[in-house]
Amino acid sequence: MLHLIDFSRLYAAENYIQWHNLPYFKTIQSELYDAMRTGRNKIFALPPRHYKTTFICRYWPAWSLAYWPDCKFLNLSATKELASDSVQTVRTILDCKSTQHISGYSLRSRKSQVTRRQDILKTEAGGAIRGIGMEGQITGFGAGNTRPGYAGAVIIDDPLKTQDAFSKTARDKCLNYFSQTIYSRRDKPETPIILSGQRVHQNDLIGELLRREPGQWDLIKIPARAPDGTLSNPFALDHEFLDRLQKLDPFTYAAQYQQEPEGDAVQVVDVSQFTKIAELPKLRGRSFLTIDSAMSTKEYADRTVISRWLANKDGLYHLGCTFGRWDFPQLLDETRAAYRNMVNERGSCEGYVEDRVSGTSLHQTLRSELRIYPWLPKEYRFPESKQARVQHSLPMLYSGKCIFTAHTPQELYDEFHWFRNDMSHDNDDFVDSVTMACSLWLYWGGIVTL
């Protein structure tokens, strides 16, 4: 009988298990063996590019079905497509003649009776694996079976998308789905649950399970870089990359790579790393406005911020902004004035306003006379939550791709300084106008190299 690592080496299309990361894979193999013997639930908190999906979600079930062909696995991922890909990899391995030879069983896999479905595989011995996206329907299928001993598992792979990490609604939905659906899918209490993923937030599913069910989970936490500087997988990551990431996006570095997400109340943005210039050189580029609109004159209401920008292949230049608390007629006047000033100064202009409430009304009113377009995060491949937008913008802000000038008001820097992921800060109107501009530059083909 081959060990899991040897089995993976035999069938892997790429030789991802090398001498320098072998200790890492031996640790995972040992913990999976323990789960098979004892039924203990395991949490693997692992960095990106560490083959956790390949090794845990694909080769482990394939290896198990090769030697215990009546095992049943439920494989859950953030998306249905990723879960189905894992099932197809298992199918490919089990259909190999060499797998039939080493196992000694007739393991010809067969698809679901609905031939167009690629998310279910069954063996002739009664085993199966089903792939499903988080929050998908699970009816009529259980993991494991009632015979004594190891008979399969529930595998959860990266249950929360990174762009949903700062959405409390998304985190709660993930936790509720786990507690209300997944526990009941085990055919016996000894069927282990294996949760594999990178940390994305203090209150992600891993964090909540460790807090709410102490003693029920074994945590295997492997940072990309150990305290002594040792890299867990130098084949995929090097010190130069990690150093740059730590500087450009410390939150992502701490959470996804070191498995130590920081609290939401800590300072997120280091304004001292912003690039500031006294005079704007003569440049050509795309002139545009980003408008974070509000519609109130009350003292503590949100402000409207109209930021002026110049974009070229080298980056974004902030040319200044107009801001205030205005009613709708004044909002229209200020937008027209900012737009026409840009046309007079730069020769052309276009404007982007977030498509919600006052922004929708602003766009609908002015679209016949000005080039004003609605901005929706999804349409520009940008996250929905404000916190995630800031995280996605930090590499630009720290790498000199977003440049501020003498016309940038102090209020903008202050808002970034006080921005918190728990949304305890007072205002983020300037922040929104900047992250909107970053999304546009990236969408237009801008590149930030880590």
Kindly state whether residues 70 and 98 are assigned to the same domain.
yes
Kindly state whether residues 360 and 216 are assigned to the same domain.
no
Q: pLDDT tens for residues 179-230?
A: 988 888 898 989 999 999 999 999 999 999 999 998 999 999 999 999 999 9
Quickly list DSSP for 415-438. HHHH--TTS-SS--HHHHHHHHHH
CA atoms within 13 A on the CB side of 55: 28
Kindly state whether residues 218 and 290 are assigned to the same domain.
no
Contact, 41 vs 216, CB < 8 A? Answer: yes
Kindly state whether residues 97 and 149 are assigned to the same domain.
yes
Kindly state whether residues 65 and 141 are assigned to the same domain.
yes
Q: What is the pLDDT of residue 114?
A: 37
Contact, 378 vs 164, CB < 8 A? Answer: no
Q: What is the pLDDT of residue 106?
A: 45
Kindly state whether residues 75 and 193 are assigned to the same domain.
yes
Kindly state whether residues 53 and 161 are assigned to the same domain.
yes
Contact, 245 vs 238, CB < 8 A? Answer: no
Kindly state whether residues 197 and 287 are assigned to the same domain.
no
- Does 420 map to a domain? yes
CATH code of 55's domain = 3.40.50.300
Task: Answer with the residue of higher pLDDT: 262 or 440.
Answer: 440
- Does 448 map to a domain? no
Q: 399: Cβ–Cβ under 8 A, 6 or more apart, which residues? A: 248, 448, 449
Kindly state whether residues 178 and 200 are assigned to the same domain.
yes
Kindly state whether residues 303 and 199 are assigned to the same domain.
no
Total number of domains constituting the chain: 2
- Does 264 map to a domain? no
Q: Which of 233, 257, 281 is the last residue of a domain?
A: 257
Tell me the average pLDDT of the chain. 89
- Does 265 map to a domain? no
- Does 422 map to a domain? yes
Q: Which of 227, 257, 287 is the last residue of a domain?
A: 257
Host domain of residue 85: 4-257
Q: pLDDT tens for residues 266-318?
A: 778 999 999 999 988 888 999 999 999 998 888 888 899 999 999 999 999 99
- Does 263 map to a domain? no
Kindly state whether residues 244 and 307 are assigned to the same domain.
no
- Does 266 map to a domain? no
Kindly state whether residues 232 and 85 are assigned to the same domain.
yes
Confidence at 113, pLDDT banded by 50, 70, 90: very low
What's this model's pTM, rounded to 2 decimal places?
Answer: 0.75
* Closest CA relative to residue 20, chosen from 223, 237, 300: 237
Q: Which of 257, 286, 315 is the last residue of a domain?
A: 257
CATH code of 426's domain = 3.30.420.240
- Does 262 map to a domain? no
Mean pLDDT check: name the lowest of 90-94, 115-119, 443-447: 115-119
The C-alpha atoms of residue 242 and residue 306 are separated, in whole angstroms, by 36
